[in-house]
Each structure stands twice: as structure tokens, then as C-alpha cells.
């Protein structure tokens, strides 16, 4: 991975970023978050240990994962966030219809014909 400042920060144009391509296999979960999550601090000034905490719930479904992190983040900060915080979790489900066409079939037999 190639760390970089958040998009829109600094003077880096698109050419200043390196694109990392990762696989997203069936059963994988993608967790997106804002800086308000990883920069949240406790009373002693320590940042929320996001990677460690999120990893312990990695086998949970997306909704459960988000609930665990939300509760833990609020416990870490004693219920006070100094910045907005957002999380999105997406899980790729196993392909159970591997030979099926994507999208919907349209049945035209119900449409009338006009002369």
C-alpha cells in the first residue's frame, strides 16, 4: 500500500497518487472510514486503535461490524467525538449464481401490439 494524504488535501494532483489494486474475493469485507474515526482520542489523548479493534470483528457481518466499532469508538472517547465520523462496510457475497446473467430478464409477452 502507498499511504497518501486524503483526497483534496495538499498540492498533490492525480499524478501524485499511486493506485493500489487489491482483490475483493467472495466473503471479503471492505471497510471505509473517515478521519474522524481514526483521529478520535481518549481523555489521555491516545488515538483510537482502529486497525487492531476492527480486526477483532473481521468475521462479523457488515452491520454487526459497524455496531461493534461504533460502540467501541464511543467507549474509547467516553461518548464524545470532536469530528464527524462515518463508516461503511461492504461484503462481497459468494457467487451462488455463477452461470446466471447479471441484471434482469425482461419478458415481452405481456406487452400488447398495436396495428
Binned at pLDDT 50, 70 and 90, residue 20 comes out as: confident
User: Which element (helix H / strand E) includes 50?
Assistant: helix 50-55
pLDDT, residue 41, reads: 96
- Is 47:39 a contact under the CB 8 Å cutoff? yes
**What is the domain partition of the chain in residue ranges?**
35-91
Tell me the C-alpha distance between 84 and 51, whole Å.
Answer: 19
User: Which element (helix H / strand E) includes 87?
Assistant: strand 87-91
Tell me the C-alpha distance between 50 and 76, whole Å.
Answer: 11
User: Which element (helix H / strand E) includes 49?
Assistant: none
Within 8 A by CB and 6+ apart from 53, the residues are: 69, 72
Q: Radius of gyration of the chain from Cα atoms?
A: 21
For the segment 1-14, the average pLDDT, to the nearest whole number, is 65
- Poorest-confidence range of 39-43, 52-56, 91-95, 101-105? 101-105
* Distance of alpha carbon 51 from the chain centroid: 13
pLDDT, residue 96, reads: 72
35 by DSSP, 3-state: which?
Answer: helix
Q: Dump pLDDT digits (tens) for 47-94.
A: 999 999 999 998 999 999 999 999 999 999 999 999 999 999 999 988
pLDDT, residue 98, reads: 56
Amino acid at each position: 500500500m502507498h499511504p497518501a494524504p486524503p483526497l483534496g488535501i495538499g498540492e498533490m494532483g492525480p499524478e501524485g497518487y499511486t493506485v493500489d489494486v487489491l482483490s475483493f474475493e467472495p466473503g471479503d469485507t471492505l471497510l471505509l472510514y473517515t478521519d474522524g474515526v481514526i483521529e478520535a482520542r481518549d481523555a489521555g489523548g491516545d488515538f483510537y486503535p482502529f486497525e487492531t479493534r476492527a480486526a477483532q470483528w473481521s468475521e462479523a457481518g457488515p452491520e454487526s461490524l459497524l455496531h461493534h466499532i461504533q460502540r467501541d469508538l464511543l467507549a474509547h472517547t467516553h461518548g464524545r467525538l470532536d469530528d464527524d465520523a462515518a463508516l461503511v462496510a461492504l461484503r462481497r457475497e459468494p457467487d451462488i449464481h455463477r452461470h446466471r446473467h447479471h441484471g434482469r430478464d425482461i419478458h415481452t409477452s405481456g406487452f400488447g401490439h398495436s396495428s
